[in-house]
Amino acid sequence: MIKVNNLSKEFHEQGTSNELLAVDHVDFTIQNGSFCALVGESGSGKSTLAQLMCGLLVPSSGEVLFEGKNISLCRGKQKQVLQSKIQLILQDGKGAMDPRFTVYQIIAEPIRNFRKLSKKEEEREINDLLTMMELPEEIKLRKAHELSGGQQKRVCIARALAAQPDVLIFDEAVSGLDVLVRKHILDLLKRLHQERKMTCFFITHDLDVALYLADRVMVMRCGKIIEDRTFHGSTDCFTHPYTKLLLHSIAPYLG
Amino acid sequence: MKKYIGKRIINFLIVLVGVSILSFLLIAWSGKDPAEIIAHRGVSNPTPEQIEMIRVEMGLDQPLPVRYIQWLSGMFTGELGTSLTTHQPIVKDLHKYLATTTSLVGMAILWIIVLTVPISLLCARKRNRLFDQVTRGITICGICMPTFWLGFLLLLFFAIHLKWFSVLPSPGWRGFLLPSFALAVPSSCSLIRIMRSSLLAELSSDYVRFAKARGLSANRILVCHILRNALPPVVTIFFQQFGFLIAGGAVIESIFSIKGIGTYLVDSVIAADTIAVSTCIVVIAAIFVVANFMADIINRLLCPWMVREENDT
């Protein structure tokens, strides 16, 4: 379970005394095994929130509790173990991978770090993950720059799964992909969540993607969570004018 | 890769031919007549006939293209004649002096690696803190400091005051310690600045930032990811410095009385030994081009994506 308590993050603009409140006193709890989506426009503080949740940024106030432990207060080995349980998947798949590493090395890295498997077990695990991600085995020897956008994203997900995390945070993970690839990856995530009962936190600016995937949708604007609803297939549950505006903007595409 | 290596070898040959023509022509047109200089050494007032005789003996009466071809073929057969300064075969001299310079440069490279890698890593990790600030000041001084001055300071302090070393060249690796350090300091200082910037650029890249979020330890990120990816610009500059170390070692060699290729070249220039000078220049140019070629190959092995980007453009 992840509990976010009164979380805020302020950034100081360089050269000025201005302060930017990227995340403004946010509170929510994510139950184990749930699929939550966070929707918001660019600059609303979604990515900052994701980085706070995985301990990459230190909050200005408030706390993120994972299994009862405050992530920002953990140090050293304890923090590493905690961070390995929360894996972050980014929009830029290529940039998130070491350009010198092959796909095999990329996926093997968390296995070697967090799970002491034998060479054979490691290879079997990597093959299983590639099969799960619907990636061909020959891709193992390729490097990040030799993969398509969709393949890069799948390798990133495989790498995250290799660490056997409890929580997966997707930060705009399907943005910039063409519709077919995007649909494939979304279906894959849905299946993954159902099969592994993993906690997923999906950050997107597309409300339709959030509605397709999640059983709970939060809407963020100017650093604040303005709406937090459990979604059961009907959009009637959304009441905030901004969410309605977002719904109206996707309506023409839905026909 | 094979195609690339083939291309680079052709480039290498073109550069060598160009350098050989240029150095040969520049020396031939320098206005100095080697026959006259040699004649003046033997006799105090040589007659024009005596000078002409020496000129014919040295083949200087031949047209320039013929002399160039003779010199070039001499490079391949190893028959370049006798040096005017050492009175030994030029090829033998080159072997001897190049070996000394290579030892000097080899030790300078060890100094460069020992100084550059740990200091730049520490600077990047302690960015803008006291260690980084102090190192910045020292490296800027090191870049600006002339090597001859540093050489004199080292001799003064370690050889005269502390008496740890002899002022005269001592045999073995001990004799190379101070000169190689003096030679390494300017290169190390500029490489520390470059490597620090390169490491900082890697540190701010996405895959490093999020490797931390994935729970990897700081040391593992530094060694397995940052260091290797920060190396390409450092490798390029390092191999360029290698050429400069060979060619620019003359000053250090003369301060520490080491007989290397640099001092041999300077002595040959003073003695107007055109053949020895042209040959030295071609050898140094070849080392320079090979060093650059090595840098390219290592960079390609370190960053295979560079090959694809080149192919795309």
For the record, the structure tokens of B78 come out as: 């190893």
Q: What's residue A254's pLDDT? A: 47
| Mean pLDDT, residues B28-39 taken together | 75
Instruction: Spell out which residues of chain B touch residue A58, defining contact as CB-CB under 8 Å.
Output: none
| pLDDT of residue A49 exceeding 90 | yes
Residue B89 has pLDDT above 80, yes or no: yes
Contacts of A95 in chain B (CB under 8 A): 205-207
Of A145 and B45, the one with more pLDDT:
A145
With a cut of 70, say whether residue B312 has pLDDT above it.
Answer: no
Q: Is A110 in the B-facing interface, judged by CB distances under 8 Å? A: yes
Q: Alpha helices, DSSP H only, in A86-178?
A: 103-114, 119-132, 149-162
Tokens 């650059």 correspond to: B292
Q: Do B209 and A56 touch (CB under 8 A)?
A: yes
Structural domain boundaries of chain A? Answer: 2-254
Q: Sign of the CA dihedral A108, A113, A119, A125? A: negative
Inform me whether the pLDDT recorded for B196 exceeds 80: yes
Q: A2-254: what fold? A: Rossmann fold (3.40.50)
Q: Are A96 and B207 inside 8 Å of each other by CB?
A: yes
- Cβ within 8 Å, pair B215-A145: no
Chain-chain contact of B228 with A100 (C-beta, under 8 angstroms):
yes
pLDDT above 60: residue B275 = yes
Residue of A146, A176, A149, A151 whose CA lies nearest to B312: A146
Strand partners, A12: A19
Please tell me if residue B312 touches chain A, with a CB cutoff of 8 Å. Answer: no
pLDDT at A253 over 50: no
What tokens appear for A233 in the block?
Answer: 């297939």
**Is B42's pLDDT higher than 90?**
no
The residue among B59 and A114 whose pLDDT is bigger is A114
Q: Taking residues A14-35, what's their average pLDDT?
A: 87
The minimal CB distance from A98 to the residues B213, B229, B308 is found for: B229
Per-residue pLDDT, B146: 86
Interface residue A82 vs chain B (CB under 8 A) = yes
Q: Is the pLDDT of residue A38 over 90?
A: yes
Biggest CA–CA distance in chain A, Å, is: 57
Model pLDDT for residues A89-99, shown as the tens digit of each residue: 888 888 888 88
pTM reported for the whole predicted model: 0.70
Residue, of A248 and A201, whose pLDDT is higher = A201
For an interface test with B, give the residue of A87, A89, A100 to mutate (most B CBs within 10 A).
A100
Whether residue B55 has pLDDT greater than 50: yes
- Give the pLDDT mean for B256-280: 84
Of all residues in chain B, the one with the smallest CA distance to A162 is B214
Tell me the C-alpha distance between A191 and A213, whole Å: 10
On whether the CB atoms of residues B183 and B245 are closer than 8 A, the answer is: yes
Rounded to an integer, what distance in angstroms lies between the CA atom of residue B177 and that of residue B103?
Answer: 11
B214-233 residues touching A, CB cutoff 8 A: 214-217, 220, 224-225, 228-229
pLDDT at residue B95 greater than cutoff 60: yes
Helices (H) and strands (E) in chain B, counts: 15, 0
pLDDT at B271 over 60: yes
Residue pair B282/B16 in contact (Cβ under 8 Å)? The answer is yes
Which domains are present in chain B? Answer: 2-77 (no CATH), 90-312 (1.10.3720.10)
If you average pLDDT over residues B107-130, what whole number do you get?
91
- Position A252 scores a pLDDT of 53
